Amino acid sequence: MLKCGKTVLCEKTMGLNLKHCRELLDIARENKIFLMEAIWTRCFPVYEILRKELDSGEVGDIVQVYATAGCSNAEVERMKSKDLGGESISDLDCYPLQFASFVFDARCPKDTAALGYINENGVDLSMGCVITFETGQTAILSTHTRSDFPNDAVIIGTKGSSSILVPYTINNA
């Protein structure tokens, strides 16, 4: 589509790895065509409400974000194949990760540490991640394909906290 001059709004994930994403970005740049990864949850009204709440200073300075995304889909055929992007990181982590990115205004992290469970096919079924920023803020994210998580997010600030339940993410949206 990009080579044909068509704008592309690409369902997550844009590519199975960094190489795939760079190839798509290069084609889009060469052809001067708009390409964007579609994180549909960003269009939910809760994000507009949340931005106003955060900008108002109601929770104070944000110090930590917790966000989860999990659903029992490990037995879905696509989720058993690494070649089809069937991993908790590819399929689910985009939701808590983009949430943390939204809350922290897309700032680059200082450090990231992650652990997970990888099955015999090389597919990650779960992931836990801690992201730290230069200012000492942290994001703690987790995903799982073998359990239905609450799919919630909590923002903790110096004056209070804010909890977001589904539909910040996937289930019941």
For the chain, 173 residues long, give each residue's pLDDT as a single digit of tens: 888 989 998 877 788 788 989 999 999 999 999 998 888 788 888 888 899 999 999 999 999 999 998 888 767 777 777 777 777 777 787 889 889 999 999 889 999 999 999 888 888 888 999 999 999 999 999 988 888 888 889 999 999 998 887 665 544 43
Supply the pLDDT for residue 170: 47
Of residues 169, 144, 170, 173, the one with CA closest to residue 154: 169
Dihedral of alpha carbons 112, 117, 119, 123, sign: negative
Helices and strands, number each (H, E), in the chain: 4, 8
**Other beta carbons within 10 Å of 140:** 16
**Quick one: CATH architecture of 46-164?**
2-Layer Sandwich (3.30)
The full set of domain ranges for the chain reads 2-38, 46-164
Q: Using CA atoms, how far apart are residues 152 and 68, in angstroms rounded to an integer?
A: 6
Tokens, residue 1: 């589509």
pLDDT in the model for residue 47:
87
Which pLDDT value is given to residue 159? 96
pLDDT given at position 173? 39
pLDDT of residue 109: 93
Query: What per-residue confidence (pLDDT) applies to 74?
Result: 63
| pLDDT for position 166 | 62
Per the document, the length of the chain is: 173
Q: Determine phi and psi for 106, rounding to 5 degrees.
A: 60, 30
